[in-house]
């Protein structure tokens, strides 16, 4: 037979770039998966496949995504094929939407993708909405074998979003993090982006990458930091700047805000205390904060963020050794 599908009794995770070790640690510590070594697990580029039926928890991983996984391949299978045409035909017979993840055989993978229904894999211009259509993931593990899953945990192609970068105007590349965070907030919670009717507070705003995004959406920003923002932002009529330690200001001193943001380097415990003060004050219902780590990831403190109602913890494509907490209450 030219095509043969072999169902696998396991689960696979596609890690964010350079985070495979973080993913393995998280699966061990946070999800208590023990089969991460020897013959019970295999890696294909940045994909970690774990065998063992007793540890396959499809429902759990559908509802609770590992932070360091771009997407989870919930029902993985091997597709054995002879020709590129056969591979593409077999994938199309399973479902329409497929995204490639490739770590080898790039030309052969590109030829298969050309024969599949079109999906937009290009970098996006912000703002953008994430489509709601399910999308599968596949990768060539050799010239005649594909590892794939039609059912995944992400609507993004291979679980990743990239933006067209502006290399001239933003004062820092951190602006990409708030673009991705706001996109996910709208996707997860259905909240609109900040706009001309919004008042935002950014703690630790210098040099102004996040503020730059917000004012370009038309929002007013109360920006607080010990150091001033980039000159263009200091002169922007939508920006009100205060030279201060943002975490020592009480919410009542700031007043009602549609959004509160923080990309400040601080201990997660201090950030959590600050977040709770804002939520308890009732002066905001929408917050996005970067959880910066000192050394190893403390999943117990991360869990406390994740347990806050109407919120979600994620690892962004544009994060480094950090996670992002998104809150969007009604």
The confidence score (pLDDT) of residue 115 equals 97
Architecture of the domain made up of 175-328 = 3-Layer(aba) Sandwich (3.40)
E strands of 263-302, at which residues? 286-292
CB atoms near residue 306 (< 10 Å): 15
User: Do residues 84 and 108 lie in contact, with contact meaning Cβ atoms separated by under 8 Å?
Assistant: yes
The confidence score (pLDDT) of residue 329 equals 82
3-159 placed in CATH 3.30.2130: yes
Within 13 Å of residue 305, how many CA atoms lie on the same side as its CB?
26
Return averaged pLDDT per consecutive 10 residues of the chain, 330 residues in all: 87 94 92 68 93 61 86 95 96 96 93 95 95 93 96 94 96 97 96 97 97 98 97 98 95 97 95 97 97 90 96 96 92
Query: Which is it for strands 286-292 and 322-328: parallel, antiparallel or unpaired?
Result: antiparallel
The confidence score (pLDDT) of residue 60 equals 67
Of 9, 178, 126, the closest CA to residue 77 belongs to 9
Task: Tell me how far CA of residue 18 lies from CA of 28, 137, 177, 267, 321, in angstroms.
Answer: 18, 19, 17, 23, 10
Q: Which residues pair with 191 in a beta bridge?
A: none
What is the rounded distance in angstroms from the CA atom of residue 71 to the CA atom of residue 151? 10
Burial tier of 112 (Cβ tally within 10 Å: 0-12, 13-18, 19+): buried
Rg (CA), the chain: 22
The confidence score (pLDDT) of residue 2 equals 80
Please give the backbone phi and psi of residue 213, each rounded to the nearest 5 degrees, phi first. Answer: -65, -45
185-204: b (≥16 Cβ within 10 Å) or e: bbbebebebbeeebbbbbbb
- The residue extents of the domains of the chain are 3-159, 175-328
């Amino acid at each position: 037979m030219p095509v043969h599908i072999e169902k696998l009794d396991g689960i696979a995770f596609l890690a964010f770039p350079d985070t495979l070790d973080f993913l393995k640690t998280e699966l061990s510590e946070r999800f208590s998966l023990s089969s991460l070594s020897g013959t019970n697990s295999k890696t294909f580029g940045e994909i970690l496949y774990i065998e063992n039926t007793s540890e396959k928890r499809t429902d759990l991983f559908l509802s609770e995504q590992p932070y360091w996984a771009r997407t989870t391949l919930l029902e993985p299978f091997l597709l054995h094929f002879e020709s590129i045409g056969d591979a593409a035909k077999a994938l199309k017979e399973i479902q329409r939407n497929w995204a490639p993840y490739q770590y080898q055989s790039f030309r052969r993978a590109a030829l298969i993708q050309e024969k599949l229904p079109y999906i937009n894999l290009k970098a996006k211009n912000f703002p953008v909405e994430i489509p709601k259509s399910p999308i599968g993931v596949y990768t060539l593990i050799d010239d005649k074998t594909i590892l794939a899953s039609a059912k995944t945990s992400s609507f993004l192609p291979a679980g990743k979003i990239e933006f067209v970068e502006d290399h001239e105007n933003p004062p820092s590349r951190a602006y990409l993090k708030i673009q991705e965070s706001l996109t996910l907030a709208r996707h997860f919670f259905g909240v609109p982006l900040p706009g001309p009717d919004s008042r935002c507070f950014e703690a630790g705003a210098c040099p102004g990458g996040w503020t730059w995004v917000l004012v370009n959406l038309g929002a007013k920003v109360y920006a607080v930091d010990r150091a001033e923002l980039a000159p263009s932002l200091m002169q922007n009529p939508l920006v009100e700047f205060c030279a201060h330690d943002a975490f020592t200001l009480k919410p009542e001193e700031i007043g009602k805000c549609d959004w509160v943001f923080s990309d400040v380097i601080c201990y997660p415990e201090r950030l959590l205390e600050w977040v709770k003060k804002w939520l308890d004050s009732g002066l905001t219902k929408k917050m996005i904060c970067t959880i910066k780590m000192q050394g190893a990831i403390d999943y117990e403190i991360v869990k406390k963020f994740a347990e806050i109602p109407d919120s979600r913890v994620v690892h962004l494509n544009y994060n480094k050794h950090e996670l992002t907490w998104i809150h969007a209450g009604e």
